[in-house]
């Protein structure tokens, strides 16, 4: 480490301000950093770039997690999905790496959730979603009737980091540049990463994942954004670990057993998940233990163990479509599941893959009906859209929804009202969708 004397007076002043911020701002209560303000300052550029959407989103997410009984949402992977979710009233967007792997990655491939896609795919979808939300906002402003705050926080999946601490540092920066409010990292080996509900999961040592969390926090500090860092552990179901070097992991390692790849056998379960969550807690804002089934008693046991040592630590829960919900729970329990989780401290709750399941089922349903009955199948869908307008649905006017009217306003501004080439004027949408059709 070079001596601090290499800092300029201005850099010293910046470091001192950062030290006070960490010590005095309630946002950083209970957050541990194994690096100094001077390190952050030395890693920053001379001209700080403002990352408005990421900063605003992180601040809003943090506020919602403390003001609401819980924040619940589901996974989107297109801008249109996100716009409809916000229009329907959801206050956050979850961006699942599984969904990106399956249908929205920059390799243009269909992949299982095994970190096979290019590492910058999720940041690009974060940007795409933010652009779509911004367009919805701009359309409403141009119409003089802004109905809501369109810029909801996006919580993005950074997988196992696609490599070591330096990869995590760069990926976190890319997420922030794209406008992510929260980011989660899991404690699997990046080169063997699996969906939390697949087999063959390999954990890294506890200390290695702490380094991952610190790399993410350092990147956020360097960028000047209070990103919400979520630590996920897969210890409840993982069966392998790379090393026995960390003494905190040794109680869960099967002695004398190695796999052909050299991994150690790991005794999984909730106790292993709790041990890891407690180790991660000082370095994360939110803790998430991936589970094998929806179980309120298991959730309560985990929450109580964390809250005993870290009473203010927030929790997250994956309401996964990988679970056969009605196989495990009755209707009454399903109906109260969100509320009871919220009371335990699970403030962020999300259905990871709901966007993918919704798109597949409803496209399949329409295609099957259209194949069998022709146009009546689509007209039935259109009638449902018309009826939904009374509840705030607007996408029946698809030209308006994507901004045709907004860009007419651009033309009108440029021509000061003298244009004869406006897109919506004289359109079929204007003629046929101005009023709700009779039923």
DSSP secondary structure of 279-318: HHGGG-SEEEE--SS--HHHHHHHHHHHHHH-TT-EEEEE
Domain-located, residue 412: yes
| Bridge partner residues of 314 (DSSP) | 286
pLDDT of the residue at 437: 45
Domain-located, residue 258: yes
Nearest to 242 by CA among 223, 264, 261: 264
Q: Could you give the 3-state DSSP secondary structure of residue 341?
A: helix
Is 162 found in the same domain as 96?
yes
Give 342-366 pLDDT, tens digit per residue.
999 999 999 999 999 999 999 999 9
Tokens encoding 341: 């989780």
> What integer is the mean pLDDT of 280-304?
97
> Please, which pLDDT band fits residue 65 given cuts at 50, 70 and 90?
very high
Is 258 found in the same domain as 134?
yes
- Domain count for the chain: 2
Pick from 65-69, 256-260, 335-339, 418-422: least confident: 418-422
pLDDT above 70 coverage of the chain, percent: 97
Residue 201 to residue 198: CA distance in whole angstroms: 7
User: CATH number of the domain that 292 lies in?
Assistant: 3.20.20.60
Domain-located, residue 267: yes
Residue 64 to residue 25: CA distance in whole angstroms: 17
Give 209-252 pLDDT, tens digit per residue.
999 999 999 999 999 999 999 999 999 999 999 999 999 999 99
Is 229 found in the same domain as 170?
yes
Instruction: Provide the domain limits for residue 149.
Output: 49-351
Which of 317, 334, 351 terminates a domain? The answer is 351
| Bridge partner residues of 188 (DSSP) | 203
| Bridge partner residues of 95 (DSSP) | 156
115: alpha, beta or left, given left = phi > 0 and alpha = psi -120 to 50? Answer: left
Is 387 found in the same domain as 338?
no
**Whole-number mean pLDDT of the chain?**
95
Residue 266 to residue 268: CA distance in whole angstroms: 6
**Cα–Cα distances in angstroms (integers) from residue 218 to residues 56, 73, 172, in the given order:** 19, 28, 9
Is 274 found in the same domain as 131?
yes
Domain-located, residue 367: yes
> What integer is the mean pLDDT of 11-18?
97
Domain-located, residue 32: no
Q: Which residues of 282-306 are buried (b: 16+ CB within 10 A; e: fewer)?
A: bbbbbbbbbbbebeeebbbbbbebb
Q: Is the pLDDT of residue 141 over 80?
A: yes
Give the residue with greater pLDDT, 162 vs 418.
162
Q: Could you give the 3-state DSSP secondary structure of residue 184?
A: strand
Nearest to 137 by CA among 403, 423, 386: 403
Is 273 found in the same domain as 176?
yes
Domain-located, residue 13: no
Domain-located, residue 3: no
Is 260 found in the same domain as 370?
no
> Please, which pLDDT band fits residue 409 given cuts at 50, 70 and 90?
confident
Nearest to 102 by CA among 280, 279, 353: 353
Catalytic residue among 92, 156, 183, 195, which? 195
Is 400 found in the same domain as 325?
no
pLDDT above 90 coverage of the chain, percent: 88
Residue 195 annotated among the catalytic residues of the structure: yes
Which of 292, 323, 351 terminates a domain? The answer is 351
Q: Is the pLDDT of residue 281 over 70?
A: yes
Is 177 found in the same domain as 309?
yes
Is 395 found in the same domain as 262?
no
Domain-located, residue 344: yes
> What integer is the mean pLDDT of 121-132?
98
Nearest to 231 by CA among 264, 275, 192, 199: 275
N residues, the chain = 439
Is 402 found in the same domain as 346?
no
Q: Is the pLDDT of residue 338 over 90?
A: yes
Nearest to 52 by CA among 178, 195, 237, 141: 178
Tokens encoding 13: 């002043």
pLDDT of the residue at 439: 46
> What integer is the mean pLDDT of 32-37?
97
> What integer is the mean pLDDT of 85-113?
97
Tokens encoding 183: 């980011």
Give 147-192 pLDDT, tens digit per residue.
999 999 999 999 999 999 999 999 999 999 999 999 999 999 999 9
Give this prediction's pTM. 0.95
Q: Is the pLDDT of residue 329 over 60?
A: yes
> What integer is the mean pLDDT of 332-338?
97
- Assess contact for 228 and 58: CB atoms under 8 A: yes
**Angle, nearest 10°, between helix axes 165-178 and 206-223?**
40
> Please, which pLDDT band fits residue 427 given cuts at 50, 70 and 90?
confident
Q: How far from chain centre, in Å, is Cα 205?
A: 24
> What integer is the mean pLDDT of 103-116?
96
- Assess contact for 126 and 178: CB atoms under 8 A: yes
pLDDT of the residue at 431: 74
Task: For 34-81, give the DSSP string.
Answer: SS-HHHHHHHS-SSPPP-HHHHHHHHHHHHHHHHSS-EEEEB--SHHH
Which of 335, 351, 367 terminates a domain? The answer is 351
Is 117 found in the same domain as 258?
yes
């Amino acid at each position: 480490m070079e001596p601090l004397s290499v800092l300029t007076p201005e850099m010293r002043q910046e470091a001192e301000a950062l030290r006070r911020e960490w010590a005095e701002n309630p946002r950083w209560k209970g957050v541990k950093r194994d690096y100094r303000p001077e390190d952050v300052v030395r890693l920053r550029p001379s001209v700080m770039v403002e990352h408005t959407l990421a900063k605003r989103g992180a601040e809003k997410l943090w506020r919602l997690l403390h003001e609401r009984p819980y924040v619940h949402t589901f996974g989107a992977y297109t801008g249109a999905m996100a716009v409809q979710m916000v229009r329907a009233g959801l206050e956050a967007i979850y961006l699942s790496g599984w969904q990106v792997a399956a249908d929205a990655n920059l390799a243009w491939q269909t992949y299982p959730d095994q970190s096979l896609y290019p590492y910058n795919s999720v940041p690009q979808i974060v940007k795409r979603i933010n652009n779509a939300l911004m367009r919805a906002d701009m359309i409403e402003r141009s119409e003089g009737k802004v109905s809501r705050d369109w810029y909801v926080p996006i919580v993005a999946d950074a997988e196992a980091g696609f490599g070591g601490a330096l990869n995590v540092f760069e990926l976190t920066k890319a997420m922030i540049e794209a406008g992510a409010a929260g980011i989660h990292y899991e404690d699997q080996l990046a080169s063997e990463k699996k969906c939390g509900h697949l087999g063959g999961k390999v954990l890294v040592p506890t200390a290695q994942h702490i380094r991952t969390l610190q790399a993410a926090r350092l990147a956020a500090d360097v960028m000047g954004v209070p990103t919400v860092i979520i630590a996920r552990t897969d210890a409840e179901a993982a069966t392998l670990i790379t090393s026995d070097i960390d003494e905190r992991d040794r109680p869960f390692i099967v002695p004398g057993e190695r796999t052909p790849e050299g991994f150690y056998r790991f005794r999984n379960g909730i106790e292993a998940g709790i041990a890891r969550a407690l180790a991660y807690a000082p370095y994360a804002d939110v803790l998430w233990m991936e589970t094998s089934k929806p179980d309120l008693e298991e959730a309560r046991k985990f929450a109580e163990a964390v809250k005993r040592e870290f009473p203010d630590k927030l929790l997250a829960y994956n309401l996964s479509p990988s679970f056969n919900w009605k196989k495990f729970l009755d209707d009454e329990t399903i109906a109260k599941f969100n509320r009871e989780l919220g009371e335990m401290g699970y403030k962020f709750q999300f259905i990871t893959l709901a966007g993918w399941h919704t798109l597949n089922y409803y496209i399949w349903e329409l295609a099957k009906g259209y194949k069998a009955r022709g146009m009546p199948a689509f007209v039935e869908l259109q009638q449902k859209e018309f009826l939904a307008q009374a509840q705030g649905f607007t996408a029946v006017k698809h030209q308006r929804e994507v901004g045709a009217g907004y860009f007419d306003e651009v033309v009108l501004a440029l021509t000061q009202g003298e244009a004869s080439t406006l897109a919506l004027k004289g359109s079929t949408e204007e003629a046929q969708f101005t009023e709700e059709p009779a039923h």
